[in-house]
Chain A
Amino acid sequence: MKKTEIKKGVNLYLFPEKKFKTYYAGIYIHTPLCEENATENALLPLILKRGSKNYPSKAEISKKLDMLMGANLSSRILKMGESQILYFTISGVSDSFAPFGDCFKDALNLLSDIAFNPALPFNSEYLESEKQNLNDIIESEKNDKRSYSVSRCKEEMNKGTAYAVPENGYADKIGSITSQSLEARYHKIIENAPIDIIITGSFDEEKAKEAVASFVSVLRERDASYPKTAPSLPSGLKTVTESLSVSQGKLCIGFNAPSPSAMSEDYPAMMVYNSIFGGGAHSKLFMNVREKLSLAYYAGSSYERAKGMITVSSGIESKNFEKARDEIFLQHKAMTEGDITPTELSVSKKALINSLKAMGDSVSSIAAFNLSGIVNDMSLTQDELAKKIDAVTLNDVIRVGKAVSPNLIYFLKGADR
């Protein structure tokens, strides 16, 4: 990775590529996910986006974005393992396609103003309105039943640990947040948390360095320790059932899985394991739960290395709960017993390699891949990781897969609408 430490704890990563017509810049501030601070942390990006010192209202920020040819500004929270990352991104048309002057540098300056130059103390009217918005965001998490059921499964499986803390915090903790408490929280984070700045797409490298150097100059040096994620712990297999008024039941199964270092050879082997098990239309889950038994429209799995966890997710007729659950376990058993064909192995590797290589063609995917590299302590490029995946053997997959064991069955049961 092209990393420059600008000052202790503040890093800049540049990935310039002339082939694009746009740039994408992100500021990522890493905080540990914990029950006590999660809600305030989640509120910060929302209030910061309401206005900064130089752009004191939402309307003024929007007007500036208009002048930057409709650039997009985002300011939200991202949960990765047990990190709660405050992130600020801006994307827009590169200067070479902008007939109206120097947009890129202005965009970086706007972005840094939002993140590092807030109008303090926080405006009380804005604060009340963003508290309401955060409440609505939390309430709306259940709107998408598919992602809701996956989060609930992960949460139940890791109950009582930091991982179970929701990304946006807790609705019942919003009320007690004050302008003072939030400002204190802001200072604490901005002065201590590790900060990464990632810029991708088509842009002038010198301009990027200049702009970043100037806004970083106001930041202090800090101890750059990133939050760590603790692997999930095995326990006896439990079933949690919940009822909502939905047409389709959602069945999720959480498995404990190995949590190797991202640089070890076991990591690509686990990626291949998950790809064979449920990582796409070529996988065992898709082929059997959907294609063979027609039980679901979607059935697949995802692997979270840092947490040592595989989560299976599918949408089924509620009455088919047992059938679908048994089939998922049957496919898991086949995985454990090494009942994997050479074709399954090779197509699964190819699917992973294809999606890794494709990332290089998207400005936001390049940023996402490298952010995940930073959080997971992995310094490989997409191509290097692809090579490691290509070298994975059937024996590797069987060896790492032995430790994959079911932990929790979560069933969101459909009641009559």
Chain B
Amino acid sequence: MYFTEKHYSDMKETLYIGEHRSGLKVYVLPKTGFTKSYAILATRYGSVNNHFTAPGDTESTKIPDGIAHYLEHKMFDQEDGSNVFDKFSAYGANANAFTGFTMTAYLFSAASNFYENLESLLDYTMHPYYTDETVEKEQGIIGQEIRMYEDEPDWNVYFNALRAMYNVNPVNIDIAGTVESIAEITKEKLYKCYNTFYHPSNMVLFTTGAVNPTKVGEYVERMIKADTNPGEIINHFPEEPSHVAKKVIKDYYDIGTPQFVVAYKDSYLPKLGDDVIKTDAEMNVLLEILGGRSSRLYNELYDKNLINDSFDVSYEGELTYAFSAFSGESRDPDAVYEAICAEVYRLKKEGIDKETFERAKRVFYGRSVSLFDRQESFSNAFCRFATKDADLLSYPAFVNKITLSDIEKRLSALDNEKCILSAIYPKKEA
């Protein structure tokens, strides 16, 4: 396999980029002096891909909620009855997998035997083995995973925010599905999804640490048998109206302090490629100005005892949905909601001063550099961007290029009509 080298002089890094004949994109980021190596194989497939037309099919397929996540669990079973974890364990590696709304990823980290582990990773992800019995067995385990999430206030307040924003986009459906929907999953449906979304052409492989591109290339050549690209998968998404589904969702849990997510549904969706990074960087700088630790909003709310240190801002930009969120704990989520809307209104009217802008830019530049030292977070983020044809290593450089007018444009797109509140409160004693 042939690799091209890309140098990033600002970050003192070199990334090796290759493409296998199957269409698999391979990225290698060697790190001198590091003991641990990390590999992650990601597919552009998550819980939102619940209606699609596979390459070569004339009819579209609809699948039960939670199947992408179920499939991830079932990848670990092997035809000979063994479990993949055993193979990784034998080499001391730590293996895992996760399913998101738009991506599923399989990964491991290892302080030794990297290539043996890489072989295992490329082996089991390319060899599905589902039987009625093994599919059945997982119902109990995933049922408990769903129950666990039902009890997690952080997840529920976030998820309710998605349900408030989105009318029909499947991001409003829980990633793991429900106990009822996963009961409809069969091995045939799993194979259909696997064959559609787990073709190497729909995937990216990222490796970093004590790794060598030539050797990674050799293992990819040996393990990936597919040699043609089957063509495009057509995902069908319902037309999401621009208005929000509900302005407010409130819920009650057995918790101490109430929690909230205030979120702006974005009409602008990033486009494949550099635009994904550019949008992400600009939105993050804007959010730093609006709700960062030195912002007027944060300090006013903190001084009024309306928020605490858990307050956070974040942007999520996918090809089919995008939003900005303010989250945290508050004794009065309604007041926080009003304050955020008022601050957006004020800032739009009064404008952003140059000094505030430069400071926010500097903060976010620092954060994007710091990410390089957190191997797991960096690798996972790398895949989130690479599956959208964007390059995380160029992030700091993009931050540097941001101008005040870029940010003002983003600010003007924040619409208080599309701002929702999700709040959960302590359950009242019966």
Q: Interface residues, chain A, CB within 8 Å of chain B?
A: 17-22, 58-59, 62-63, 65-71, 91-93, 97-98, 100, 129, 132-133, 136-146, 201, 244-248, 280-282, 290-291, 294-298, 315-317, 343, 346-347, 350-351, 353-355, 357-358, 360-363, 414, 417
Query: Is B256 within 8 A of A143, CB to CB?
Result: yes
Say yes or no: is B375 at the interface (Cβ < 8 Å to chain A).
Answer: yes
Say yes or no: is B32 at the interface (Cβ < 8 Å to chain A).
Answer: yes
Query: Is A347 within 8 A of B148, CB to CB?
Result: no
Query: Is B111 within 8 A of A353, CB to CB?
Result: yes
Pick the most buried of B31, B141, B154: most chain A CB atoms within 10 A of its CB.
Answer: B141
* B-side contacts of A355, CB under 8 Å: 94
Per a CB cutoff under 8 Å, which of B255, B360, B369, B375 touches A93?
Answer: B369
Query: Is A141 within 8 A of B150, CB to CB?
Result: no
What is the chain B residue whose CB lies nearest that of A383?
B35
What is the chain A residue whose CB lies nearest that of B259?
A143
**A-B contact list, 6 entries, CB within 8 Å:** A62-B293, A69-B369, A136-B329, A245-B427, A281-B95, A358-B94
CB distance from A242 to the nearest CB of B (A): 11
Quick one: given A67-B362, A140-B256, A296-B141, are A362 and B150 in contact (CB under 8 Å)?
A: no
State the CA gap A139–B331 with chains docked (Å).
12
Query: Is B305 within 8 A of A129, CB to CB?
Result: yes
**How many residues of chain B are within 8 Å of chain A by beta carbon?**
71
Query: Is A350 within 8 A of B142, CB to CB?
Result: no
Which residues between 115 and 170 of chain B lie within 8 Å of chain A, taking CB atoms?
137-145, 147-148, 150-154
Say yes or no: is B229 at the interface (Cβ < 8 Å to chain A).
Answer: no
Of all A-B residue pairs in the complex, the 3 with the closest CB atoms, nearest first, are A139-B256, A69-B366, A350-B92
CB distance from A175 to the nearest CB of B (A): 16
Per a CB cutoff under 8 Å, which of B35, B138, B148, B360 touches A315?
Answer: B148
Query: Is B36 within 8 A of A59, CB to CB?
Result: no
* B-side contacts of A91, CB under 8 Å: 370
* A-side contacts of B308, CB under 8 Å: 133, 136-137
Which residues between 19 and 48 of chain B lie within 8 Å of chain A, taking CB atoms?
31-36
Per a CB cutoff under 8 Å, which of A22, A66, A248, A361 touches B147?
Answer: A248
Say yes or no: is B86 at the interface (Cβ < 8 Å to chain A).
Answer: yes
Query: Is A317 within 8 A of B153, CB to CB?
Result: no
Query: Is A248 within 8 A of B150, CB to CB?
Result: yes
* A-side contacts of B395, CB under 8 Å: none
Query: Is A357 within 8 A of B373, CB to CB?
Result: no
Per a CB cutoff under 8 Å, which of A291, A347, A361 touches B36?
Answer: A361
* A-side contacts of B35, CB under 8 Å: 357-358, 360-361
Query: Is A281 within 8 A of B85, CB to CB?
Result: yes
Query: Is A362 within 8 A of B374, CB to CB?
Result: yes
Query: Is B92 within 8 A of A139, CB to CB?
Result: no
Per a CB cutoff under 8 Å, which of A17, A246, A362 touches B33?
Answer: A17
State the CA gap A146–B299 with chains docked (Å).
32
State the CA gap A70–B142 with chains docked (Å).
39
CB distance from B185 to the nearest CB of A (A): 15
* A-side contacts of B34, CB under 8 Å: 19, 361
Which residues between 277 and 329 of chain B lie within 8 Å of chain A, taking CB atoms?
292-294, 298-299, 302-303, 305, 308-309, 329
CB distance from A382 to the nearest CB of B (A): 9
Query: Is A354 within 8 A of B93, CB to CB?
Result: yes
